[in-house]
Amino acid sequence: MDFTFIYSTAMLLLMLTDPFGNLPVFLATLKHVPKHRHLKIIFREVCIALVAMLLALTFGHSFFGLLQIEGGTLAIAGGLILLLTGIKMVFATLAETKEETKEEPFIVPMAIPLICGPGVIAILSTLCGSIPQATYLNCLCALLLTWVIQSIILCAGHRIARRLDRRVLNAIESLMGLLLVCLAVGLLLRGINQTYGL
């Protein structure tokens, strides 16, 4: 196993899943749900998101292959999605992303698209085999590491929200968005080079 690849990929996936940015949305979505149900709902949603991400990692490349979408094209599309996601994270405010519902959420919006969004699916679908270190085992370990960290953050959401000011959460999300923009540009350039050989 390549631990450097696992840690770097886990950091990329963690920025994409954006647990600190999603935390206020999760809390707002669960506002009208009894507090004793919060932990169970969050754990259920992160498990559903994990299944979706595992499907994307395992079958995503083959699925896009059936649609005759080449790796370079998918890398460019994934880079554009990451770029838009990163820009949104840099300039978004918690007030703009706040969602409230009186019904108990199921899959949407918590599992999909907040945790497992199009950017995550695009990256997972192109990850395996993109470089020599990107074996299925290394990619799987990176995904599981990301999932564990994200689950801990989201399940401890109420405690984190009490300790951190909203401005701090905003700053963390903006910083992660900035890093994501940088990674998106790199992915775009790699996709363009792969497609056009520039």
pLDDT at 30 over 50: yes
Q: Is 107 left (phi over 0), alpha (psi -120 to 50) or beta?
A: left
pTM of the model: 0.76
Determine the Cα angle at 105 with ends 103 and 108, to 5°: 130
Interatomic CA distance for residues 58 and 6, integer angstroms:
17
pLDDT band for position 59 (50/70/90)? very high
Q: How many domains does the chain have?
A: 1
Quote the domain boundaries for residue 123.
3-196
